Amino acid sequence: MSWIRELYYYRYFIRTSIVNEFRARFVRSRLGAAWMILNPLAQVVIFAFILSEVLSAKLPGIENKYAYAIYLMAGTVGWSLFAEIFNRCLTVFIDNGNTMKKLAFPKSTLPVIVVGSALVNNLLLLVSVIVIFAMLGHTVSSAILWLPFVMIVTIAFAVGLGLFLGVLNVFIRDIGQIMPIILQIWYWFTPVVYMEAILPKGYGKYIALNPMYPIISAYHNIFVFQKTPNMTGIGVIGCISAGLLLLAVFVYRRASAEMVDVL
């Protein structure tokens, strides 16, 4: 458990790293931190504008005329949390290679910094989405109390998978090239933009194999349908994530001796 002590000693470094990351990202842009929210929202607007006519009729159980936009935003918040953490974990060692070569510091701080800054991003997005919901006449119910559990599982899944592939990516850089493509395909295999109901019959059992499906469904249940998400599904993903995290730690331990040499 020495890594917990290390993280405690380096808590200040973790905090400044997260703050510096935002500073560095926005230091030369006019709108600064607003870009964090504007980017995903722009995507929502584009999809809503293009697809709402096609899809709006097929959203049962919700009366609001902006139902599709609400559905889209709820899924986007969940997916962007996963995608940001996953993408950053995938390159976390390569991005920090220079520092790792020059200074000895606990590497366990790196995923914590990634999660910290992604979480700040995501919470800002979440708050702005809730405000937009209110403007569209859609309120948030007590189902939101389930959200922290869903987010924890989402983060664990993204970190576990991301770090495992992130370690491999140091040695096999093709992984970093191919993952954005796979992620794109994965996104379209997850009901974020479309409704599950529009899928042709028989695809239901395949979509159940998608680990992001229970997560995005939970976001939909919490925000769109205002009901308790399927926590069994979330629990299963939680177990898978724990396994992935252990795998990532194991692979990191085996690789760490050679990692700095190839960075």
Partner 1 sequence: MSGALDVNGVAKAYRQYKGEIQRVASWFVPNVYPAKETWVLEDISFSLSPGEAVGIIGQNGAGKSTLLKIITGTTKPTNGSVQVKGKIAAILELGMGFNPDLTGRQNVYHSAGLMGYTSEQIDTVINNIEEFAEIGKYFEDPVRTFSSGMQMRVAFAVATAFRPDILIIDEALSVGDSYFQHKSFDRIREFREQGTSLLFVSHDKGAILALCDRAILLDKGHLLRDGDPEEITDYYNALIAEKANSTIEQVVMGNGGIQTRSGTAEAKVIEVALYNAKGQVAEYVGVGERVELRIKVKVYQSIETLVLGYGIKDRLGQVMHGTNTWHTKQVINKPNVGSEYEFVIAFQANLGVGSYSIQTALVDRDTHLTANYEWLDLALVFNVINIDKVHFAGCMWIESRITIEEYGK
Interface residue with partner 1 among 51, 143, 168, 207 (CB under 8 A) is 168
Region of residue 226 (left: phi > 0; alpha: psi -120 to 50; beta: else): left
Interface residue with partner 1 among 99, 141, 177, 230 (CB under 8 A) is 99
Count other Cβ atoms within 10 Å, centred on residue 212. 23
Residues 6+ apart with CB under 8 A from 214: 230, 233, 234, 236, 237
Q: Residue 39, interface with partner 1 (CB under 8 A)?
A: no
- Nearer to partner 1 among residue 45 and residue 168 (C-beta): 168
CA dihedral 128, 36, 116, 164 (to 10 degrees): 120
Q: Residue 140, interface with partner 1 (CB under 8 A)?
A: no
- Nearer to partner 1 among residue 41 and residue 251 (C-beta): 251
Q: Residue 4, interface with partner 1 (CB under 8 A)?
A: no
Interface residue with partner 1 among 1, 60, 61, 104 (CB under 8 A) is 104
Chain centre to alpha carbon of residue 210: 15
- Nearer to partner 1 among residue 9 and residue 206 (C-beta): 9
Kindly state the tokens that stand for 23: 């500073």
User: Least distance in Å: CB of 102 to partner 1?
Assistant: 5
Q: Considering only residues 9 through 28, tell me which ones interact with partner 1, judged by CB under 8 A.
A: 9-13, 16-17, 20, 23-24, 27-28
Written as one string, the DSSP assignment of 193-207 is SS-GGGSPTT-HHHH
Angle, CA of 26, 32 and 33, to the nearest 5°? 95
Interface with partner 1 (CB under 8 A), residue total: 31
Angle, CA of 51, 36 and 107, to the nearest 5°? 120
Interface residue with partner 1 among 4, 30, 232, 261 (CB under 8 A) is 261
Interface residue with partner 1 among 30, 102, 201, 205 (CB under 8 A) is 102
- Nearer to partner 1 among residue 45 and residue 263 (C-beta): 263
Q: Residue 57, interface with partner 1 (CB under 8 A)?
A: no
Look at residues 100, 88, 58, 206 and name the one whose alpha carbon lies nearest to residue 155: 88
Q: Fill in the per-residue mask, 227 to 256: x = in contact with partner 1 (CB under 8 A), - = not in contact.
A: ------------------------x--xxx
Count other Cβ atoms within 10 Å, centred on residue 99. 10
Interface residue with partner 1 among 57, 123, 127, 172 (CB under 8 A) is 172
Q: Report the Cα–Cα distance between both ends of the chain, in Å, rounded.
A: 27
- Interface positions with partner 1 (CB under 8 A): 9-13, 16-17, 20, 23-24, 27-28, 98-105, 168, 171-172, 251, 254-258, 260-261
